[in-house]
Amino acid sequence: MTEHPEITYIGCARCGTQIAGLDGRYACSGCGWVNEWTEGHRPLPGSRSGRSGDVSVPGPGIAVPAAHHVHSPPLRRPAGLSAPDQTGKSA
């Protein structure tokens, strides 16, 4: 067993896109397909030594901030261009 993961390739099971993965674990950016973690070529690594297995979890009554989502500003039509009519053609 090597210390570093091996880059492996496969055709996506859903859309056929050629995708790369690590040790036989894949996720397709085209359609979102992901294979089962158990299908990998070797076991997933354990936790690193020197780290405790305890996860810091806030106690009751402690507020946890919501995930920050970045939203793009609305798209604006450049000056001088008219909106398309019902047929999709610019007026």
Determine, yes or no, domain membership for 29: yes
Contact (CB, 8 A) for 11 and 17: yes
Average pLDDT, rounded, for the chain? 76
Average of per-residue pLDDT across 27-42: 91
* Domain assignment of residue 69, yes or no: no
Percentage of the chain exceeding pLDDT 90? 34
Q: Is residue 26 part of a domain?
A: yes
Listing DSSP states for the chain in one string gives --SSPPEEEEE-TTT--EEEEETTB-B-TTT--B--GGGSSSPPP-PPTTS-S------TT---PPPP---PPPP-PPTTPPPB-TTS-B-
Within-domain flag for 34: yes
Question: Of the ranges 16-20, 68-72, 73-77, which is most confident?
Answer: 16-20
Whole-number pLDDT of residue 10: 94
Q: Supply the range of the domain harboring residue 21.
A: 7-39
Q: What is the largest CA-CA distance in the chain?
A: 68
Give the chain's domain count: 1
The predicted-structure confidence for 5-14, as pLDDT tens digits, reads as follows 899 999 999 9
- Which residues touch 88 (CB under 8 Å, ≥6 apart)? none
Would residue 22 count as lying in a domain? yes
